[in-house]
């Protein structure tokens, strides 16, 4: 089943069976990041280092710069932290995980890697700093993802709606 917009070979399939080719996926990804930046008034400036930072820089290079603290956490990181806080920490810390300064808040590692591949941005996503409990939670979410592909989005949506 080809991409509905341009009839090309799809590279991404959503859970609602919609499929996108490489160029349509890149546009969709950039639109999602820019709308997150606009909606949550996220700062914009060049940051260095990781693949996620280079992806953000690629998308925001033509936007007017705004000062502030910018983070590269994404959907996978935040959903794991939410469950960790619910299970093992003070629930008041959940407020810190709202999308104040994370342009990749609603995007998974798979989406970031695919975008980087399409745009020829070199690098890999670093999985550093995960302790025993965080690894257990991440593995638990991955196990649930086999049955429910939207589990990470559901966790984030529950936080935003609470």
Q: How does pLDDT run across 48-103, given as a tens digit for each residue?
A: 888 999 999 999 999 888 888 888 999 999 999 999 999 998 889 998 899 889 99
**Mean of all residue pLDDT scores within the chain:** 90
Q: Answer with the residue of higher pLDDT: 92 or 3.
A: 92
Sign of the torsion formed by the C-alpha atoms of 126, 132, 138 and 143: positive
d(CA 24, CA 10): 9
Confidence of residue 109 (pLDDT cuts 50, 70, 90): very high
Confidence of residue 118 (pLDDT cuts 50, 70, 90): very high
Neighbours of 50 (CB within 10 A): 15
Q: Which of 23-27, 30-34, 58-62, 68-72 has the lowest mean pLDDT?
A: 68-72
- What's 44's DSSP letter? B
Query: Of 8, 98, 103, whose CA–CA distance to 52 is shortest?
Result: 103
- Domain 12-160, CATH 3.40.920.10 — does that match? no
pTM of the prediction? 0.91
pLDDT for the residue 129: 65
């Amino acid at each position: 089943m080809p991409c509905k917009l341009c009839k090309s070979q799809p590279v991404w399939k959503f859970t609602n069976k919609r499929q996108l080719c490489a160029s349509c996926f890149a546009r969709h990804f950039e639109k999602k990041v820019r709308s997150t930046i606009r909606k949550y008034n996220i700062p914009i400036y060049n940051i260095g280092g990781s693949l996620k930072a280079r992806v953000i820089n690629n998308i925001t290079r033509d936007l007017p710069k705004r000062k502030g603290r910018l983070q590269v956490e994404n959907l996978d990181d935040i959903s794991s932290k939410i469950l960790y806080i619910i299970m093992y920490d003070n629930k008041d810390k959940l407020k810190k995980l709202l999308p104040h300064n994370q342009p990749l808040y609603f995007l998974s590692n798979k989406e970031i890697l695919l975008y980087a591949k399409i745009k020829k941005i070199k690098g890999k996503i670093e999985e550093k700093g995960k302790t025993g409990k965080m690894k257990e939670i991440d593995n638990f979410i991955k196990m649930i993802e086999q049955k429910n592909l939207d589990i990470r989005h559901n966790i984030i949506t529950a936080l935003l709606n609470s």
